[in-house]
Structures are given as C-alpha cells and as structure tokens.
Amino acid sequence: MGTVGLLLATGVVVVGIVDRQAGFADWVIAASAAGGLLSWMAMLRPRISLVGEDLELRNMTETVTIPLAAVEELAVRQLFAVRVGDKRFISPALGKSRGQLTRGGRPGAVGGVVGRLRSKPADAHLSVDHADFVEERIRGRMEDARSSRGVRLGSAEQVALASEVRRQPAWAELVALGVLSLGAVLAFLV
C-alpha cells in the first residue's frame, strides 16, 4: 500500500509539473507530494535492523539505537516492542496479525512452527513464521551481547546500559514534510 500511495502521488506531481494544461492546481501538486512523502514515512521507512551490538528501530519520525545487552524484554504482537530500563520502544516494522496471535494456542502450532502433512509423513514440511524467526534471531543476539559484556539480565549493569539509548529524529523527512505542507497551504490561499 505504501508503494501504491507513493506511485500515485508521484504520478500526480509529475503530470502536474510536466503538463501544466492538465488542470492540476499548485496546491494539489504540493499536497500530493506531501501525501507521497507521508505514505513513504508511514509504510516504507519503518525498519528493524541489527547493527553490530545494537538494535536499530527506524520509525516514521525517528531512529532509535538500543544496545542489545540493555534490552530487558522483547515482544512481537501486533507491533514489535522492547523494554529498556523504564522506557518502552515500539516499531510497526514487525508484527503479527490477529490470526497469527490466536493460532499460537492451537494444537500443532507451537512457537510459530507448524507441521503440515500432505499425503504421508515423508512429505512433512515445517514452516516458520517470519516474525517468529526475527524475534528468535534478535533474542539470540541479545543473549550474545549480554554474555560478551558480562551483563546479567536484570542486573545494575544492564540498567546502566539504558543510558546508551540514542534517538535521532528523521530531520530530512520532517523538514521536507513541513515545507511541502506549508507550500500546499500557501498555494491554496493564493
């Protein structure tokens, strides 16, 4: 959906600029550009990355860098959430649908691994849900980071690591969105 929104907005902007006789007002062009940027920020920018000994959560308006050894709790529900000290950080980049969350309690669905039988046991296949795979990968890296730093879960050293969390606003996107929105309003009023 983010790509479709971005392509539609780009189409309106390109046609509006290239073919001035198409009838697109300047404020429509600016508003479409702002809408395309907003679509990208909301649906395509969010990402979760493992960068060295850090967990990087890229959200709509900021990037949060968290030392893996500082993460006390991690949960993947409809959103990805981690707790570091007394703060909770969430990301829409990874999540499970309601169906995936309720299927977890069904027989045959243990820990996200579901065995599917076709005609005979020799054809059995195991599939692992993407969210479960990423969650286990991050948990493994958290344990590795704690052991390499000599930090125990819930210890004072782990609480002290919470001060190393860094937040960086997405300045380029925020400034561009502000400029495009202001341009749309000014073009509408003129």
User: pLDDT by residue for the chain (190 residues), tens digit each?
Assistant: 888 988 999 999 999 999 888 888 999 999 999 999 999 999 999 999 999 999 999 999 999 999 999 999 999 999 999 999 889 999 999 988 888 778 764 444 444 444 444 455 554 456 668 888 999 999 999 999 999 988 888 888 888 888 999 999 999 999 999 999 999 999 999 8
Q: Does residue 63 share a domain with residue 126?
A: yes
Which residues make beta-bridge pairs with 91? 80
Domain co-membership, 77 together with 155 = yes
> How many domains is the chain built from?
2
| Residues 31 and 99 both lie in one domain | no
* Residues 60, 8 share a domain: no
What DSSP string runs through 6-62? HHHHHHHHHHHHH-GGG---HHHHHHHHHHHHHHIIIIIS-EEEEETTEEEEE-SSE
Residue-range definition of the domain harbouring residue 8: 2-45+170-189
The model's pTM = 0.76
93 and 135 part of one domain = yes
The answer to whether 112 touches 128, Cβ cutoff 8 Å, is yes
Pair (144, 60) in one structural domain: yes
Q: Which amino acid is at 13?
A: V
